[in-house]
Chain A
Amino acid sequence: MDRGQLIETMQEILGPEGVIHQREELRTYECDGLMNYRVIPDLVVLPESAEQVQQIVKTCYDEGIPFVARGSGTGLSGGALPVESGVLIVLTRLRRILEVDIPNGRVVVEPGVINVWVSQEVADEGYYYAPDPASQIVSSIGGNLAENSGGVHCLKYGFTTNHVMGAEIVLPDGSVVHIGGGKSPDVPGYELLGAFVGSEGTLGIATKITLRILRQPEDVRTLLAAFKDTEEAGGAVSGIIGGGIVPAAIEMMDALTIEAVEKQISPGFPEAGAILIVELDGPEAEVEHQFEHVIRVCEENEASAIRVAEDDEERALLWKGRQAAFGAMGSISKDYYVQDGVVPRTELGAVLKKIADLSEEYGLRVANVFHAGDGNLHPLVLYDNDTPGEADKAEELAGEIVFACLEHGGSLTGEHGIGRDKMKYMPKMFTSDDMDVMQLLRCAFDPHRICNPGKIFPTPRLCGERPGPFHMHPVQKAGLAENF
């Protein structure tokens, strides 16, 4: 089928308003939230129903055309980067909330529904949807599903995968399956849903998603504490968590980030080497008690200032400063490269020091904002694209930071996903056997390799192959530290 015929076929399925094929318009889809990689898709289609998605995928399958699914296009790893000569399936028009089932604490939505709409829909009943990535005002549930998005509250409440109960999936061959049980727990079979969430759109397209909603907590308290430096702040974090408290959120920002945020948003953050924003929620008695403990720990760690939010407005302002941190970087630097490494919390201090050393070595500033509770760092390497060579240096520095995370027992990515961006680092974290075995899963779902190919795994595995005989990776054999 040539391009003209493909366009016609798609227009028959979707109507002319569902197919974008003009060059300039295609170009607006050539990247998602990560601008470093761009590929012009052959065709962009915007289905309005699950049936249309199925028809599109079936057509691609029959014709051997690769496709990539995209939500709001705010991903930070290039997961929605189109594939050359492929179709980009944009799910933004599947945006209905299909069912609200308060007695079972479930909501069924289409993938284009924006994260924050779910909570709004059930707010009147006193419920909310817990996963709250910083992009929640614009990112879609489908996208959250693909990346297993986290957010500032995921230490206590978990990630998207802990809140997705079921999904209707269009498999790459165009067939439809329902995995996960939806409203019923413990459905017999493999945890296909658990494997699907976080698979970055490489196993199929979810067209209906059952989400779990929670009752809003009785009490919420938030405070901001300022410290001399990240080390002291880190000490406070350990003290809080070591005291047996699981805060609803605990975020850290360093001096550079504070500067940018104050410039752009002016939430009134104090000048400090590092600040912590801690939030506790739950039953009133518990929150009260825990809050006292938190304040005590902050004081013990020489907090230079402690500010408790008196009301919702102040609390919202504190969080505004945190949520807009990435965007605010634009005010102190022309360009920035954000990473998403994870380290065990006990290694935070050491890794932050390493980052500071690297920053000096490379002569580029690195701002740090991160989820202190679960060790998920977002180092922002600041650079100027117009200075020759700086972009490459920035990328190299970012890579070094990632290696540092791995060396200390962490992970390549906590919430942004591997996508295209971190593919090259995968061999640093996994052996080729590890990746081969993961790709067995991919072969089961997508034997023809048309579903978002070229993402996650640097070396694609042909699905006809059997796994090879067991062999120990030379690094393991040599007894060198394994990145587990």
Chain B
Amino acid sequence: MVERNGGRNGSGGEDRYSATNATERRDPEGTTGEEAMAGAIGAGSPEDIGQSTRAASDSIQQTIGADRAESGSYTFPAFDDHHPPEKDLIDDCVHCGFCLPTCPTYVLFGEEMDSPRGRIYLMNKGLTEEPMNDEMVRHWDLCLGCMACVTACPSGVQYDKLIEATRQQVERRYERRADDKAFREMIFQFFPYPNRLRAIAAPMRLYQRFGIGDKLRRAGIMQRIPSRMQAMEALLPDLPKEEKIPDLTGPVGERRRRVGVLTGCVQRVFFSPVNAATVRVLAAEGCEVVAPKQGCCGALSTHAGREEESLNFARKTIDTFEDLNLDNVVVNAAGCGSTMKEYGYLLRDDPDYAERAKAFSAKVRDVSEFLQELGPVAERNPLPVTAAYHDACHLAHAQGIRSQPRQTLKQIPGMEVKEIREAEVCCGSAGIYNMVEPEPAAELGERKANNILKTGAQVIVTSNPGCMLQIQSSLKKMGHGGLPMAHPMEVLDASLRGEPVETLLDK
């Protein structure tokens, strides 16, 4: 335990990351009571939960207002027998409300139906009395699946299982409005298939190179394109040249582990340098790295409730990796890692895969988690830079991994890591959320961007491609599009290779 100065205004922050407890951030300004309260809901500090002193948000229109996408679909009873949200899990909720201040939609809209407590309540009513209709679905759709509520809940309600089961039911039993349906189908025709993504990436590169988006904006044409397409367009990142990674990479020095890496879909198409950096880092730390030909892990589908599709992806992923004699499967995307750790639960009904899935999931590690577990050996060269670390929801809330990425950064000499206020509140990426619900996503993105800018950091570091896209896009809208972003592995890679700080800052 660290000795601190008496009084509440003592300086602190040096040893914030030395403890291994995942939820150990401290804010020297909070009172004891608040710190305890923040701790009680899993936040490291009172500053990490939603603090809204702004009036209600504009995007409220689509939750209660006139703009919501209604199809008039009505199914009763709401749920069928195949994996409805479990009554036992629902009963764990004692209606205390501690989840409300960490829920991004509650922070934005301030109404009960868009809080975890309210959503669970709707599920409960759906089990017994109410039908599946526009109202119910609207509020479940607006849930980001960030699981800040799971971290916050003092009763241990497993909201993640509940919302996943509910989303599956919605996909099966709710007839979406035609345009909504079409848009979602389009997303799932492209995003889980890297080759298709790459195919549209080329035209996108030209699109960007010639500044077509900006021209459309200046001509005022952009406003007339439906908001969701606008949102997608705004998310397009600046595309780097593709960096390929070899099928097999040998370790530097003695071989400590043999690991497989997931290359991802959005990651490998838009952020291939992250994969390359990951492989180099793992090799530098003594790993033999296998990068087999692979498909999608199914995270986006799982989180969207597309059951069959997600199970198929899961099976294929297990097939890809299980016979490669691996000690671990290392993942550098938070969303993917979180789903892969769940394969055991997802495939519990499949007699052919249930055991294999459990065994597979036990090997999955997030890359920061893995490196800290392994223990660093390679020499880190100084990188004197101030970085703001952004907790991806699927890393912090879903996997409870908060300290390891910070430790990874702190182990680089000269690095100063800043904490972002309202860290527990999602940036708005949330899988496909920022494409299907652009308005609340934009508000959350702006909020997150503002909090990031307040840190005064030179570079933003985060472990999820979705977050990267979202935050980049939000910063760009605010005129700060030049702020560099990096994955922890890119930072560590730069340090291991003795690169100057400019490598990070010129991204």
Q: Do A and B come from one complex?
A: yes
Name A's B-contacting residues (CB within 8 A). Answer: 15-20, 22-25, 27-29, 31-35, 46, 48, 72-74, 90, 92-93, 95-97, 112-114, 116-117, 119-121, 123-124, 126, 128, 132, 134-139, 151-153, 216, 218-220, 222, 264-265, 279, 284, 310-320, 322-324, 326-331, 334, 336
- A149 vs B274: C-alpha distance when bound (angstroms): 51
B151 at the interface (CB under 8 A from A): no
Which of B31-39, B191-199, B238-246, B337-345 has 4 or more CB atoms under 8 Å from chain A?
Answer: B31-39
Tally inter-chain residue pairs, CB-CB below 8 A: 221
Task: Evaluate whether A328 and B118 lie within 8 angstroms (CB atoms) in the complex, with A315-B32, A320-B39 already known.
Answer: no
The answer to whether B153 touches A327 (Cβ under 8 A) is yes
Residues of A contacting B94 in the complex (Cβ-Cβ under 8 angstroms): 35, 326-327, 329-330, 336
Task: Evaluate whether A31 and B40 lie within 8 angstroms (CB atoms) in the complex, with A120-B47, A137-B49, A153-B33 already known.
Answer: no
Residues of A contacting B12 in the complex (Cβ-Cβ under 8 angstroms): 312
Closest residue of chain B to A319 (Cβ to Cβ) is B36
The answer to whether B37 touches A116 (Cβ under 8 A) is yes
Kindly identify which residue among A123, A311, A320, A327 contacts B98, using a CB–CB cutoff of 8 Å. Answer: A327
A323 to chain B, nearest CB (A): 5
B52 to chain A, nearest CB (A): 6
A325 to chain B, nearest CB (A): 8
24 examples of A-B residue contacts, CB within 8 angstroms: A16-B61, A16-B64, A20-B64, A23-B135, A24-B125, A24-B135, A28-B113, A90-B110, A90-B112, A93-B110, A95-B55, A112-B110, A114-B101, A117-B51, A117-B53, A137-B37, A137-B41, A220-B7, A311-B4, A313-B1, A316-B35, A320-B36, A320-B40, A327-B154
Residue picked from A29, A116, A151, A265, most chain B C-beta under 10 Å: A116
B223 at the interface (CB under 8 A from A): no
- A334 vs B91: C-alpha distance when bound (angstroms): 8
18 new A-B pairs (CB below 8 Å) besides A33-B96, A313-B19, A330-B155? A20-B113, A35-B94, A72-B97, A73-B97, A92-B111, A120-B47, A126-B9, A137-B41, A137-B46, A138-B100, A218-B6, A219-B7, A319-B33, A319-B36, A327-B40, A327-B154, A329-B94, A330-B156
B121 at the interface (CB under 8 A from A): yes
Kindly identify which residue among A16, A46, A112, A327 contacts B66, using a CB–CB cutoff of 8 Å. Answer: A16
Residues of B contacting A322 in the complex (Cβ-Cβ under 8 angstroms): 36
- A307 vs B445: C-alpha distance when bound (angstroms): 44
Residues of B contacting A34 in the complex (Cβ-Cβ under 8 angstroms): 95
Residues of A contacting B234 in the complex (Cβ-Cβ under 8 angstroms): none
The answer to whether A218 touches B34 (Cβ under 8 A) is no
Residues of A contacting B4 in the complex (Cβ-Cβ under 8 angstroms): 311-313
Residues of A contacting B54 in the complex (Cβ-Cβ under 8 angstroms): 96
B136 at the interface (CB under 8 A from A): yes
- A218 vs B61: C-alpha distance when bound (angstroms): 48
Residues of B contacting A24 in the complex (Cβ-Cβ under 8 angstroms): 113, 122, 125, 130, 133, 135-136
Residues of A contacting B373 in the complex (Cβ-Cβ under 8 angstroms): none
Which of B22-30, B318-326, B385-393 has 4 or more CB atoms under 8 Å from chain A?
Answer: B22-30
Name B's A-contacting residues (CB within 8 A). Answer: 1-4, 6-9, 12, 19, 24, 26, 28-41, 46-47, 49, 51-56, 60-61, 63-66, 91-92, 94-98, 100-101, 110-113, 117-118, 121-122, 125, 130, 133, 135-136, 139, 153-156
Kindly identify which residue among B3, B53, B66 contacts A96, using a CB–CB cutoff of 8 Å. Answer: B53
The answer to whether B111 touches A90 (Cβ under 8 A) is yes
The answer to whether B97 touches A46 (Cβ under 8 A) is no
- A157 vs B54: C-alpha distance when bound (angstroms): 30
- A483 vs B444: C-alpha distance when bound (angstroms): 54
- A48 vs B36: C-alpha distance when bound (angstroms): 31
Residues of A contacting B2 in the complex (Cβ-Cβ under 8 angstroms): 311, 313
